[in-house]
Structures are given as C-alpha cells and as structure tokens.
Amino acid sequence: MNILITGIHGFVGSNLVNALKKQHTLYGLDIVTPDKAGVAKTFTWEELEKVSTTSLQLPVFDAIIHLAGKAHDTKNQSVAQTYFDINTGLTQKIFDFFLTSDAKKFIFFSSVKAAADSVIGDVLTEEVIPTPIGPYGESKIKAEEYIQGICSRLELQTKQVYILRPCMIHGPGNKGNLNLLYNVVKQGIPWPLGDFENRRSFTSVDNLCYVVEGILTKSVDSGIYHIGDDEALSTNELIETMCEAIGKKAHIWRLNRGMMEACAKVGSMLHLPLNTERLRKLTENYVVSNEKIKKALGITSMPVRAKEGLVKTIKSFS
C-alpha cells in the first residue's frame, strides 16, 4: 500500500515507519521534511494546500494516517487556541483532503482524553458520552465530531474511517511523563503515595503499531476504538517495574492515606506543589478497555504484555 502519514517525524510516527516500511511504501506530511529511512518522500502542509493550483503531483494513496497534533501540556503553559488550531484545524484539513483523494482508509489518532478526563466506574469504554476537560481533550473531541458529522451526512460507501483513542503511549524514544517518573526513581527518591492502590492503563507503542497494521490489512469496521495494553498497573507496580529494569531497590513509602489527603488540602490553600488536584491525578484510576479493537482484529490478547513493554521503554531511557 501507499500510505501517507502526517507527523511522521514524531515519536509515534517514527515507530510506525519502522513497523510498516518493509510491507508498504510510506510518505510523510510534516512541518519539517528531512530525509528519513523508510520514507519515500515527505511533503509540507503548504505543498498539500497548493496541489490544486500548481503542477505538484502527489502519489495515489491507499491510506492516510493522521498523527500530527499538539501533545497534552501537563504544565498548562500552552495557549488554549493553539490546541484547536492544530488538533482540530489540521484534522479538518487532512480529512477534507482524504475525502477528495483515492485513499480508502483514514486513521485519526485522537486520545482517551477526548472521552473523559477521569474514568467514572471501573473501565472506560467506547460507549461513554464524551466529557473532556481542558483544551487538549476538547480540541480532540471537536476533531472527532467534525469527522463523524461528515461521515453521517455523506454515508461513505467506499471509504473506511477509524478514530483511535490511545491511553498513555510509551516506547523507546518517548520523553513524556514516564521519563519524568523514571528520573525520580533513578535518583532513589522515595515514592510517598504507596498507600494509594490505583490502576492505570498504558499503551506500548509496539501494540499500537500492531493495531494500525491490522486496521490497514484486515477488514475492520469503521468506528471509534480505544487502545491500551491488556493489563492495567498501579503506580506502585510501575515503580517496582522501573527499579527491576535498572537494577535498583524500590523505595515506596506507604504514608497514611488520610494524612496525605490532609497535606494536599493544605497545599491547595498555600499553593504548594502537592495539592488536592495533583494528588488526585497521581492516584486516580484510569483503566481503558481494549476489548472492542481486539474483537475487531480477531485476537484475544495484545502481542506485548504491559510489563514487557514498560521494561523495554525504561531500558531505553538509560
């Protein structure tokens, strides 16, 4: 297949290239266009806009994977409109291009944060009514709504459209929150919240690439699919896995839960780093179901176990 991948130079894009380059011809669409092994050519967004008014010829694409977007800024320092300009605006632009192209499959990378900032109940499924909080999730759901609105109006017969909502993606080359926690653990700093037994879902980038390859090559119904590893892990298990991977002893302090909640309340009043909201984020449950995508692919389990994928990621940090 000829596949166009937006944001091809990013973390997920680079991993997708490695996973797909042997079986498919890959093209990129990005803000930068350096040569990349496994990529035939990378176009700019400006070139895409000028296709109809210039002599530029694009290949005939069989599928488009839309990765490009503004990642969630956990420090909340980004201007809100920037999320909508990129996450919503670029998605509208590339989806409009898909509709006029010969491509038969469109894969949009949204996020579980488009569905819910916090999980109500035991597990987050595709049936949830989206209630995003903050510009990141809100800009992603706006993009989803644009795609779904057009699909419902046009009733596309020859094209298939997939909205993927992965939870936290990790793998070699990732510099996100796992890397921050790893740096804390590596220095031997104790984790004081061991009394909280939360469960969180993660997504190994290897499992993510497996899902994309399956959607490209199998007969999978259009729709929204949540993506995550099979097993959810507690923060305590995550820290223990990190320490095991780097050969260090885990320092987990099980300080009284009530005491830590009281300290967080004081932190909220005094504007300290540990406040009620941050404590909630660090200790909440966020378990995501992957049953729908597994059923669609005809599998009973993801190829990479959660702990196996995390160990691979952690070892890449060092």
**Residue-wise DSSP of 145-213:** HHHHHHHHHHT-SS-EEEEEEE-SEE-TT--SHHHHHHHHHHTT--BTBTT----B--EEHHHHHHHHH
d(CA 278, CA 19): 36
**For 97-138, how does the pLDDT look when each residue is reduced to its tens digit (9 = 90+)?**
999 999 999 999 999 999 999 998 899 999 999 999 999 999
Q: How confident is the model at residue 94 (pLDDT cuts 50, 70, 90)?
A: very high
CA dist 128 and 123 (Å) reads: 10
Mean pLDDT of 19-41: 94
Helix axes 276-283, 257-270, angle to 10 degrees: 140
Domain ranges, ordered by start, for the chain = 2-166, 172-200+230-286+298-318
Identify the band that residue 184 occupies on the pLDDT scale cut at 50, 70 and 90. Answer: confident
Q: What is the pLDDT of residues 242-263, one digit of tens each?
A: 999 999 999 999 999 999 999 9
- pLDDT bin (cut points 50, 70, 90) of residue 74 is low
CATH topology of domain 2-166: Rossmann fold (3.40.50)
The whole-angstrom separation of Cα 67 and Cα 87 is 10
Quote the crossing angle between the two packed helices 89-100 and 135-154, to the nearest 10°. 20
Given a contact cutoff of 8 angstroms between Cβ atoms, the answer to whether 91 and 70 are in contact is no
> Per residue in 50-62, pLDDT tens?
776 666 788 999 9
- Average pLDDT score over the chain: 92
Higher pLDDT, residue 85 or 55: 85
CA-nearest of 318, 181, 176 to 247 is 318
What CATH number does domain 172-200+230-286+298-318 carry, 1.10.3470, 3.30.1490, 3.90.25, 2.60.40? 3.90.25
Tokens coding 49: 């806009």
pLDDT attached to residue 309:
96
Which amino acid is present at 213? E
